Amino acid sequence: MMTRQLLATITCLLMVTSTPFLLLSQDDMAYKVPPKTVSDLLLAKPASSVNVNEKGEWMLLTDYNSYPSVEELAQPELRIAGLRINPKNYAPSRQNFINNLYLKNITTGKELKITGLPTPLFAGNVSWSPNDKKIAFTQTTTDRVDLYVIDVPTQKAVKVNKTALNALLGATYQWYDDNTLLYRTTLAPASSAPPKPLMPKGPAVQESYGKASPRPTFQDLIKSPHDEQLFAFYGTAQLVKNVNGVETKIGQPAIYANIDVSPNKNYLLIRTLKKPFSYTVTAFGFPATVAITDLAGKMVKNLVELPSAETAPSGRDNVQNVPRGIEWRDDEAATIVWCMPLDSGLMRKKVDFHDAVYALNAPFTGEAKELFKTELRYYNTAWGNSSLALVSEGLGSKQMVRTNRFNPGTGELSKLMERNTTDAYSNPGNPVTTSNAYNRQVIQTIDNGNKILMNNPTGASPKGDLPFLAVFDLNSKKSEILWRCPEGSFESVIRVLDSDKLTLLTRRENETTMPNYWLKDLKLRIADRQITSFANPYPQLEGVSKQKISYKRADGVDLTGDLYLPKGYDAKRDGPLPTLIWAYPAEYNSAADAAQIRGSEHRFTLLNWGSPIYYVTQGYAVLNNAEMPIVATSADKKPNDDFIDQLKMNAEAAIGKLSDLGVGDKNRMAVGGHSYGAFMTANLLAHTNLFKGGIARSGAYNRTLTPFGFQNEDRTYWENPDLYHEMSPFSYANKIKTPILLIHGDTDNNTGTFPIQSERMFNAIKGHGGTVKYVSLPYESHGYAGRENILHMLAEQFNWLEKYVKSAPAEGTKAGLKP
């Protein structure tokens, strides 16, 4: 039955339809702008970003360029091996640069200008030196990337490199010590890149001989021998050590994917990529050599030759049967640790332990020592000291994570806690860290090593998000909250500056007050001191009301959403409004977790390009972050087994609540979303008559084009073809009669959301006589960046809402489910 439906749909698309459609004039396809209020909100200058040094003495403030012009996005770009490369300067294309840097002394509050900055400034990759007295950053120009260092005491910046940097793979640079930087440099002018021959030597050929390669549908992959040449040319670099401006080469040129200095500064852990380059996975899945060298680049130990990631098994908890997580142990001078699967990488195998973690100490000549084994899939280790580390393991398919206490001295591994990753209320937070003698971040202990501080910057609770700082007792396994954000506001701990005095740097905000930074002393309990005074960039939103509303769907699952209402609006006087519901579905194995309250109504509203909140200034009610949980209804079912029915219940519950409040007109409802939210939108329009219009941005609508899984769905198309068909709104394009606006960046780089998804969806709906518009934004990726494109997107969305939602009759047309 499913096959016949698919064939019928495909046949319809191939047929010439008599459905009338509008041919657009050249003027119709010119860039549009939304109402001035919307434009002003988008282009408002944002507050400076804040970067505080380890000691909490200095604050570096950075200002970023506003949205670049589409002309900037249109500059030449190479899209190979999962990378987007500026072919003129060995750097990633489409970067958002810092255009201003300045310092602020936290003690005195004085702001200080930095001299010696290049003009114009296109800075990035900011990093403090180990002693907090210097700040490094990159400066990217049209033909090269340079490295600058700011001397904090004198507030003076100087360029330190002579050879241009290669900034394509891994970290662009790293501090070795307070006077030394490591980075990769270019080998030849970008103008000498291999040209594309007009006459290729032959066709591009891919082969497979019996080895399965169930990989996701990555974008921007290598597609030809010439792409291989380009990747090798731009990726190959020389590793360099720079001591006070003097450059010294380390080793030989290679394609460096990762470089990490040992804690004692005597060794380098290096991962280099090698041929054959894959046409199926991105650069970081290419075959690689992982080795330890000395500081001259001489080989000390070849740890492993990693194969291509092409043959990694599908499934959320399955891994390649190779070493992974290879890294230095942060609390020892020079110890390499890594994980190896004990189940050949396949979680379905019945074994007592699925992973083992090993260690090898310098000089790396002996046998590796097994540190511990995990019953679940090993995730990572947070190192503390010779008697404490925290080991995380879990199962993504079951949405569970376990945290263990590991004693490196005795080898004992004991469970501290286990929780659902979707259970936000039980999240204990993250261990507070500090720099050790090696300048590595390690877990900070208190009370003779028996307790640790835990910082939860979210602090989800039944009363909404209330961030907290707690003390966790490693012996009793109990947590005691030291400080929690008071109800009626939102404040989170950015850094614990002094764990003994409990001096904190916090970020505080409420509905009407911009986020600003404060000093707080929990022991002395002196008055909090404000460090920054960022002003509200959105005067146009003053008077707009925001509240978190709660409601139930038909099966009893509790839902929430953030409701925005126009300035001066009175429901009794003005009546229900046309409404835009904006959402993104999420999967849960637990209905109780799905029902938890997320977010806080007391946060200041910060806008980005993709926000739906702009339209509250145009007379619309906006329900943002409307919960759309998809819940496994029994132990033997997965969430997506009831995807469509649960979407319907979520939407019906939201509309019912808005109608009951008297603020939303149930006959003038719109729904929208980006990416998986667009997929949701198309499905709701295909299976209900609840809405008068829909906005779907950069979505995937035909799941057979992502056959090895999508989102949290790890079953393949061939394991459950009915599921893929039924969840694909493309399969039901003939039922979409509600007007739908499709928007997509024409160079989308996200796995699965190829622009062809929107192109084919448009053709399918048009072919069946539906009302549909497709806007293809030039040079845009999955997230949009170009100023003219974003303004046009906001205008198209506004016009769609005005035409099909606000102008719809407020009474008369009944909403309901399609038969």
Q: What are the residue numbers of the active site?
A: 675, 748, 782
CA distance 755 to 215: 19
- Single-letter code of the amino acid located at 768: H
Q: CA of 618: how far to CAs of 531, 592, 609, 633, 658, in Å? A: 36, 37, 17, 40, 18
Beta strands in 299-437 (DSSP E): 299-306, 324-328, 335-341, 355-361, 369-374, 377-385, 388-395, 400-407, 412-420, 430-431, 433-435
- Single-letter code of the amino acid located at 276: P
Provide DSSP, 722-749: HHHHHH-GGGGGGG--S-EEEEEETT--
Q: CB within 8 A of 188, min separation 6: which ones? A: 233
**289: which 2 tokens?**
């050599």
* Cα angle, residue 34 at apex, residues 33 and 37 outer, rounded to 5°: 125
User: What does the CA dihedral 228, 234, 239, 241 come to, rounded to 10 degrees?
Assistant: -170
CA distance 152 to 669: 55
Provide DSSP, 62-107: EEE--PPPHHHHTS--EEETTEEEETTTTEESS---EEEEEEEETT
CA distance 799 to 688: 23
**127: which 2 tokens?**
């990093």
Q: Is 174 helix (H, G, I), strand (E, B) or coil?
A: strand
CA distance 775 to 685: 18
Nearest one of 776, 739, 770 to 20, comparing CA atoms: 770
Q: Could you tell me which residues are beta bridge partners of residue 560?
A: 550
CA distance 63 to 613: 24
- Single-letter code of the amino acid located at 424: A
Going across the sheet that includes 400-407, the strands are 377-385, 388-395, 400-407, 412-420
CB 298 within 8 A of CB 310: no
CB 123 within 8 A of CB 101: yes
CA distance 708 to 281: 14
State the Rg of the chain over Cα.
Answer: 28
**88: which 2 tokens?**
């003129």
CA 600 to chain CA centroid, Å, is: 21
Classify residue 753 by burial, with Cβ atoms within 10 Å: 0-12, 13-18, 19+. buried
CB 507 within 8 A of CB 542: no
Q: Could you tell me which residues are beta bridge partners of residue 156?
A: 115, 151
Q: Is 126 helix (H, G, I), strand (E, B) or coil?
A: strand
CA distance 374 to 406: 11
**109: which 2 tokens?**
């509050």
Q: CB within 8 A of 279, min separation 6: which ones? A: 204, 206, 221, 222, 223
Q: CA of 588: how far to CAs of 400, 423, 641, 680, in Å? A: 11, 9, 12, 16
CA distance 806 to 772: 17
